[in-house]
Amino acid sequence: MKAQVFNKSKLRLPVFLALALSASLALAEAPMSEPAVKANVKDASVKWGGCPDFLPKGCGLAVLHGDAAKPNSDVFFKVPGKSHIAHHSHTSAERMILVSGKLALTYDGQKEMIINEGEYTYGPAKLGHEGTCLSKKPCVLFIAFESPIDAEPDKAAK
């Protein structure tokens, strides 16, 4: 199949104006669904909450966008330096970027991954995993969840 190429010289001005007017009217009528969000992990306005008991003492979770009990939430997840994240799983896949620290992460049946600051990691839904913050400073992950956050410790054999 050959891709079609837009040829602006064939587009007549009245048609262009009608399209532009239609688009601006549609935007004017569309309700604002939600505000844009900006967050910096170092900002005092980021509200850190606690974590489930199976995660390390001093762990923090900050919801940046959405509601952790509903689909499509974004969070910062922080664990103290040199701490271990217990083996667990959750219903949602997770898309992660390590914001600070250095993290070892192991998913069941896969080799350990060493994640450095700025690196992206994808974790499939329902796949058990565990990690260790290798750095002295805290490890902070940005995580985008597709489903509500329901992390549970997994005592099953890996």
Residue 145 belongs to domain spanning: 60-153
pTM of the model: 0.77
55 lies in a domain?
Answer: no
Tokens 């450095």 found at: 116
**What is the tally of structural domains in the chain?**
1
41 lies in a domain?
Answer: no
- Each residue's pLDDT expressed in tens, for the chain with a length of 158 residues: 555 554 555 545 454 444 455 555 555 565 668 889 899 999 998 999 999 999 999 999 999 999 999 999 999 999 999 999 999 999 999 999 999 999 999 999 999 999 999 999 999 999 999 999 999 999 999 999 999 999 989 865 44
132 lies in a domain?
Answer: yes
Structure tokens at 4: 């079609």
142 lies in a domain?
Answer: yes
15 lies in a domain?
Answer: no
139 lies in a domain?
Answer: yes
Which CATH number fits the domain that encloses residue 99?
A: 2.60.120.10
95 lies in a domain?
Answer: yes
Interacting residues of 93 by C-beta distance below 8 A, sequence separation 6+: 122, 123, 124, 125, 145, 146, 147
